[in-house]
């Protein structure tokens, strides 16, 4: 799971979140990691980040935090995290998941991972149908994520199986904009995101 340096995170939420932008970015990532750790199909969560603040908080939850040693963009960071996983557990599949899923449900994630395990590579498109929130590769299969831009089309073009299961809204609902956050809150976010959202004037909090 990639976690941006907080100073550069959630920039599209700058106007709506104001001085709470970094707190919101940290809350969203923390709720995502906490939910992933509760999924019984997940043996380990590896967070790739160069920011010591989320590194400390996410490690305290039980994630393994590694620095972004490639420092060459999102997909190289994900490949780096996956390689660390395969070093210790080469017999297990690996997956990259967005850190922007504050409504993530462990049970829904488990259903997705079960379905993904039946294909060499698989992915879940985001709620907008343009991006990707989850990409997986089975043991022994090259790990080749294509996040960024129109990543849904990129993953399909590479032959990864698209997973469009019913009832996995929480796995598809990433948060980049205020409308995304509203939709996630409707689904029901984790407690940290909900607490920060209560502070946002754009969502009705006093200015």
Number of domains in the chain: 1
Half-sphere CA count of 148, side-chain side, radius 13 A: 10
Task: State mean pLDDT over 44-65.
Answer: 97
Q: Answer yes or no: is 21 within a domain.
A: yes
Asked whether residue 205 is assigned to any structural domain, the reply reads no
Q: What percent of the chain has pLDDT over 70?
A: 100
pLDDT at 118 over 70: yes
pLDDT digits (tens, 9 = 90+) for 154-181: 999 999 999 999 999 999 999 999 999 9
Report if residue 30 sits inside a domain.
yes
CATH of the domain at 184: 3.90.550.10
Range of the domain at 97: 6-200
Residue 206 lies in a domain: no
Which among 172, 187, 77 is positioned nearest to 129, based on CA atoms?
A: 172
179 phi, psi to nearest 5 deg: -65, -40
Radius of gyration of the chain (CA): 16
CB of 203 closer than 8 Å to CB of 187? no
Return the closest-CA partner of residue 130 out of 146, 152, 148. Answer: 152
* Domain-embedded: residue 189: yes
* 1, 97 contact by CB (below 8 A): yes
184 domain residue, yes or no: yes
207 in a structural domain: no
Question: Would you list the DSSP string of 15-69?
Answer: HHHGGGHHHHHHHHHHHHHHHHHT-TT-S--EEE-S-HHHHHHHHHHT-EEE--S
Model pLDDT for residues 55-96, shown as the tens digit of each residue: 999 999 999 999 998 889 999 999 999 999 999 899 999 999
């Amino acid at each position: 799971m990639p976690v941006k340096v907080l100073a550069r995170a959630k920039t599209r939420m700058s106007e709506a979140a104001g001085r709470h932008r970094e707190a919101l970015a940290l809350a969203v990532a923390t709720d995502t990691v906490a939910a992933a750790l509760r999924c019984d199909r997940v043996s380990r969560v590896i967070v790739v980040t160069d920011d010591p603040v989320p590194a400390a908080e996410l490690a305290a939850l039980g994630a393994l935090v590694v620095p972004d040693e490639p420092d060459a963009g999102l997909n190289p960071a994900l490949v780096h995290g996956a390689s660390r996983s395969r070093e210790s557990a080469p017999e297990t599949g690996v997956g990259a998941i967005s850190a922007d899923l504050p409504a993530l449900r462990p049970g829904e994630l488990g259903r997705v991972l079960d379905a993904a395990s039946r294909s060499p590579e698989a992915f879940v498109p985001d709620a907008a149908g343009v991006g990707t929130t989850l990409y997986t590769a089975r043991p022994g299969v090259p790990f080749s994520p294509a996040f960024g831009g129109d990543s849904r089309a990129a993953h399909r073009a590479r032959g990864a199986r698209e997973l469009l299961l019913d009832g996995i809204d929480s796995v598809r609902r990433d948060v980049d904009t205020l409308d995304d956050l509203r939709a996630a809150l409707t689904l029901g976010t984790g407690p940290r995101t909900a607490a920060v959202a209560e502070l946002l004037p754009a969502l009705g909090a006093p200015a």
